[in-house]
Structure 1
């Protein structure tokens, strides 16, 4: 890649990453399949909610900081993931906080960064879902809303609170919403800024907390929700009929840094490189459907490969969008066959472990891809599917797909160097 302003070869590396999901803050391990992380929502459907330990972290985050007690759950999940990413990247000293007191990094809402100002780019399909529904219910009951209703429910409040929590004193704070590819919209924007020399470091990712009665009713109304029980692995990508879509909550955030060719060469540890981001769109009448051949997937994949200067043969595995809907799963595989031919790369998915987290799903899929690149391992699904259970050669480059309502799709290529 070339910096548009300096003309020098450069790479964008994932310096740190963090996540929170139905698996907590952990990543899936190889070996026997774990206990199903799904639970039954009060409405009677299976969901992928946070486990107890992660729920405690959310509660503590809200309790410790008065300003955070009013925030939507979507924002709090982003803060937890961003803190992990920033700490792993080593971007904060973890000691001196904005109030001058010394304490552990996770005990304070903000901490002073030891680097120049960074930018923030966060995607979310629905934003402050819970708070918006609460404020609307209050309005219907009382005819009025609190002063804070508007600022707490705008999409932009997600990125701005992440920036505040990271101790940002300058730089852009960007929020994106493009249904289930929102996180890759945020990531693509961050990559463009880095390549253009408009920033040197970014926190970018996606977050979603959609497990509300109203949102679940919307998903059920579409007719795609899984009929399987929470204990029966209800989300089954690539398993065919019936539809096994299951809603989940979570967040994943990445600490991105632009390195010159010389800096990248001087690194002594393997690098995770964000090699390309591509986008696709197909104009079809149905805003919830897609073409059988997945034209938007094809566009996004080709663009990501071109940006990364790679061919289909260079890709070792694909982390699918594949939400467990028969039509969506089939269209994505048709798109892959159009590009890769009959012999597809290894097909992987983490939705059978996390559910579909809407605007956070692409980021959590990328986090999963990074985990596979680092460990060369992942758990095997305990149901019949076309997902791979193991590799017969090293995995160096992974394509990650995402798509959403409205005909949009996005793809990312990540590689280990």
Structure 2
């Protein structure tokens, strides 16, 4: 790792998130469980559903613009998160967008804005609804196909932002989908194919059919909603809990000199640098399994470090993928030991606060990492686990892991500059 640093950086201008915690981030104070109870056939299961204030915002979105009344919940969650990200970045909605009342008069040309959104399942609720209507009545709505394609997710985010000059790309690689979207955004920005990017992940999987699928895997948590049922790093039994949510980031490329001049005027404002997004894959026979030593995790983490041109010992904390399944949690720990040795960084997770949000989980974990870099604290779980209860060192660089069915994994590296 001797090469000179690049003159340009990919920075996070703004962030938006929606989850079982609403639009807030985990507080270091003791939490009450944000999970809810859902009736599934003859049993009760815990889910990470959004709170009433977010539900009201989703319904307001549906009423705001006629086309939005047809959209899947997955898309609406992405719109809420994207609007937060652009507002925090100070990017005005482009003239003519539904999110803006601006006119095109006397407005300078807007920078090229592209959109890249990951989702494991896409328009889950609408797809199931259209299929049920077909089975019961034999008819299919004309809008069924365009409203349920995966590309529908990014294209509506782009529509809402008012962009007409950039790309709109949707990605799906199960639970690492958001990092596929982030990796694509980083590559485009570095190549000069876009000036600005909205990138992240979204998922609304809390349907009876999807919950039944997770139950069929035999991994769902037996704990009640009030007992923090998702318990990463706690061992047996398996404590997977499904959640919904989205997180979106406003990304730009900037040269170091321009950033230094900007920081001189705002010395205390944190600036997050997305240093690398690495990917790994392992060809295993089971599409729901992984190797005991997490080969795909190892490859992804090493690639993220290589892109950033930093050594493993510079990583202060890892936001784990760790879904609460004993085999998955153990494989990730083995991969961490292979990359970092016995002196592991601090290990943290937000899934015990949100559940596993599938294609949104990596993005929500990256958002949590930025929160840690800002506050230098995180909440300590109320159950026995191998997670680090409080920071053991100053947190300046965080690695975030994600993995999904099919043998794929992804890791992102973020730091404060």
User: TM-score scaled to structure 2, two decimals?
Assistant: 0.94
- Contact 2:13-2:250 within 8 A present in 1 as well: yes
> How has the CA–CA distance of structure 1 residues 394 and 72 changed in structure 2, closer, same or farther, with 3 Å as cutoff?
same
Q: Which residue of 2 aligns with 1:107?
A: none
User: Equivalent residues in 2 for 1:243-282 (5 A)?
Assistant: 243-268=238-263, 269-282=269-282
1:175 is matched with which residue: 156, 170, 179?
170
- Contact 2:232-2:349 within 8 A present in 1 as well: yes
3-state DSSP of counterpart to 1:322: coil
Gapped regions of structure 2 (runs ≥ 5):
264-268
Cα deviation code 1:66-105 (max 9, x no counterpart): 11000000000000000000000011069x65589848xx
1:184 is matched with which residue: 173, 179, 187?
179
- Contact 1:118-1:170 within 8 A present in 2 as well: yes
> How has the CA–CA distance of structure 1 residues 348 and 36 changed in structure 2, closer, same or farther, with 3 Å as cutoff?
same
- Contact 1:243-1:326 within 8 A present in 2 as well: yes
- Contact 2:315-2:345 within 8 A present in 1 as well: yes
- Contact 2:275-2:415 within 8 A present in 1 as well: yes
Q: Distance in 2 between matches of 1:114 and 1:36?
A: 47
3-state DSSP of counterpart to 1:174: strand
Q: Distance in 2 between matches of 1:102 and 1:141?
A: 42
- Contact 1:92-1:113 within 8 A present in 2 as well: no
Q: Which residue of 2 aligns with 1:25?
A: 23
Q: Which residue of 2 aligns with 1:125?
A: 120
- Contact 2:26-2:379 within 8 A present in 1 as well: yes
User: Equivalent residues in 2 for 1:294-313 (5 A)?
Assistant: 294-313=294-313
1:378 deviates by 1.2
Q: Distance in 1 between matches of 2:108 and 2:20?
A: 30
> How has the CA–CA distance of structure 1 residues 226 and 114 changed in structure 2, closer, same or farther, with 3 Å as cutoff?
farther
- Contact 1:81-1:252 within 8 A present in 2 as well: yes
1:30 deviates by 0.9
Cα deviation code 1:11-51 (max 9, x no counterpart): 0000000000000001111122x110111112121000000
1:392 deviates by 3.2
Q: Distance in 1 between matches of 2:91 and 2:162?
A: 11
Q: Which residue of 1 aligns with 2:266?
A: none
Q: Which residue of 1 aligns with 2:50?
A: 50
Count of residue correspondences = 402
**Structure 1 stretches of 4+ moved >2 Å:** 96-103, 112-115
User: Equivalent residues in 2 for 1:206-217 (5 A)?
Assistant: 206-217=201-212
Q: Which residue of 2 aligns with 1:81?
A: 81
Cα deviation code 1:262-285 (max 9, x no counterpart): 112222233100000100000000
